[in-house]
Chains A and B, each alone.
Chain A
């Protein structure tokens, strides 16, 4: 029996369970109500319906999920135990190739065999697959019936089905939230594992403090030494994301937040704030080609005009400027929130002392809102250094260690993209370097976020 059919069947069983349980609960409760006791009836019939339906579906569902992962192994074992499998070659690689081909033919993905050895295994494969498929379906149905029957017998007028369903809802929500955490942990684990492999080929100190980045030369067989110094990448990332972009984003974001909270009339605010926030919704790839096709050439021409050497058509400045614009809404909305959170009484107090609005802003509001603003800036930095599209398109690939903003630099994210696009061998240092870079980026942004959230939280406590 195929997967979708079983799922449909289970869904049908669940529906039947719901309807019949609800009907039974209704009948029992109607009878119980006649006794006149207030606590004779606990839950609405619908809750009994859900209780039984969930007991029908969840154990069977969990079993199917497990079975789907376990049964291929069982099938393979069964096939290997078959007399036809005795002639298989001993080495794991060709053995699994043959088995794979046999499975493909058996399930109809492939029509003929390249390897005659696999043809012999098709029959046992098809047989084992169908045996285990039927067994799995049967077990699932038995479980569904058993679960449903167990729950059905528990229906009594005063059974607390409502509480049970509530608890299950909570569990479901908990599982949903855990999924995100588990995924994060999985990502970290894979990053750590691949990075570990990389660091077994390249000395971590060379990687973190080396000044020369040329993974291509390592791939071409010149050895791993000196090829994976990531400092130029770190510098490029910081130069673009934490310096140039912030020089643009911090003053503009802060000033627009001040204007919006302190000077703008409600009507202006109503229009300007969403418009500004729309900047955050522009896909970064759009920013990317804006940077690469419009800003970067203009900057190069400008640099050439004022006589700067080494001006490139892909520059740190172009990427940084556009990234700064992209980050403005982050800074401005965090600053806006924290300025708005400063109590009105603080502002009144200052104005009543005879301070002007701008004196009030610079001497009272901004100092009071500063932790929130700093938190916002840190979040913006962490967002900027992880940003990819703009730098891929506008910053360039040359790993230069330079202070010249008109020169081309490269960033961690750009290099990850370079290392992992196209056909790759996943056991070379060149490819694995991407994971090490990812790990560094992950750790840095994680730290930034933790610090930022701490700062913001501490600040919130001050006023509430």
Chain B
């Protein structure tokens, strides 16, 4: 890593990035980021608005491909396999690396169909019974089952914001991903709904590698075990969450944590 910001070594990383640069046309949004993400911990990306944390997150499942002007350099691997290699099937990659967005975006379909969407396109259920099992399991894991089990065929868009976001998490879980990327998943939610999502993240930890982008430092402190601080497209510091918040090594991290900017 340039400027050597990491204060931890990760054995067997689930995903790792080496010297990743992202350009939007001429503008460079990410300036050489190297980072490892492991399976057992929740990793939080923090930093002020426009620091590139969301952009970097979207390189991890190649969602930047949908932006015509975006270009990615460097290497990102999932279980040691280069995800930008020509042989990599983007569709398969995204099934393995799921994503939850800033604003809840359930499809205008029933709750059941929202969950069944992924399994259906990936052929994960052989029968209606299989599908029922997948839907129930996913909704249970997303902590939504008890609230919606009697109205699975109501529209997903009729749920409250927090429920919609948990539905989106359940939808991502339904395709059995290995990594779940969350892009500020609580920024559109009220405190109670936020607490529920944070609780859910705790429960999902260990089963999936979770990377969460947040602009809320308290949230990063609450939900994550590893924190990476981004600033101006660079990874400034990466370490154990408690270290970052109590004993930051970099001046910029310290300034951000103590609220000097951001």
Contacts and interface: CB of A to CB of B under 8 A. Distances in A.
Interface of A: 265-266, 343, 345-356, 359, 363-364, 367-368, 462
Interface string B201-228: 0000000000000000000000000000
A461 to B, nearest CB: 12
B188 to A, nearest CB: 11
B2 interface: no
Contact of B101 (A266, A348, A354, A356): A348
B190 to A, nearest CB: 19
B171 to A, nearest CB: 7
Nearest to A355: B121
Interface size class of B (residues with CB under 8 A): 20 to 34
B94 A354 contact: yes
Contacts of A352: 61, 63, 94, 98-99, 101, 172
B32 interface: no
28 contacts: A266-B68, A343-B105, A345-B103, A345-B105, A346-B105, A346-B107, A348-B66, A348-B101, A349-B101, A349-B107, A349-B168, A352-B94, A352-B172, A353-B117, A353-B171, A353-B175, A354-B91, A354-B118, A354-B175, A355-B91, A355-B121, A356-B91, A359-B121, A363-B117, A367-B109, A368-B107, A368-B108, A462-B157
Contacts of B122: 354
B95 interface: yes
Interface in B115-141: 117-118, 121-122
Contacts of A349: 101, 105-107, 168, 171
Nearest to B109: A367
Contacts of B103: 345
List 10 tightest A-B contacts by C-beta distance, closest first. Answer: A354-B95, A352-B99, A345-B105, A354-B94, A349-B105, A353-B118, A354-B91, A368-B108, A355-B121, A359-B121
Given A364-B107, A368-B107, A353 B63 contact: no
Contacts of A266: 68
Interface in B72-124: 91-95, 98-99, 101, 103, 105-109, 117-118, 121-122
Given A346-B107, A364-B107, A367-B109, A351 B101 contact: no
A347 B101 CA distance: 12
Contacts of A367: 108-109
A462 B108 contact: yes
The listed residue with most B CB atoms (<10 A of its CB), out of A348, A349, A368, is: A349
Contacts of B68: 265-266
Given A345-B105, A346-B107, A353 B121 contact: yes
A187 to B, nearest CB: 40
A461 B175 CA distance: 31
Interface string B177-219: 0000000000000000000000000000000000000000000
Contact of B66 (A351, A354, A364): A351
A350 B171 CA distance: 10
A363 B117 CA distance: 9
A216 to B, nearest CB: 55
A265 B67 CA distance: 11
Contacts of A462: 108, 157
A353 B101 contact: no
A456 B122 CA distance: 33
Interface string B142-173: 00000000000000010000000000100110
Contacts of A347: 66
B92 A354 contact: yes
A370 to B, nearest CB: 10
B105 A353 contact: no
Contacts of A345: 101, 103, 105
Given A346-B107, A349-B105, A354-B94, 8 more contacts: A345-B105, A351-B94, A352-B94, A352-B99, A353-B118, A354-B93, A354-B175, A462-B108
A364 B66 CA distance: 16
A265 B68 CA distance: 8
A344 B106 CA distance: 12
Contacts of A348: 63, 66, 99, 101, 105
A462 B99 CA distance: 24
Contacts of A346: 105, 107-108
Interface in B36-69: 61, 63, 66, 68
Nearest to A369: B108
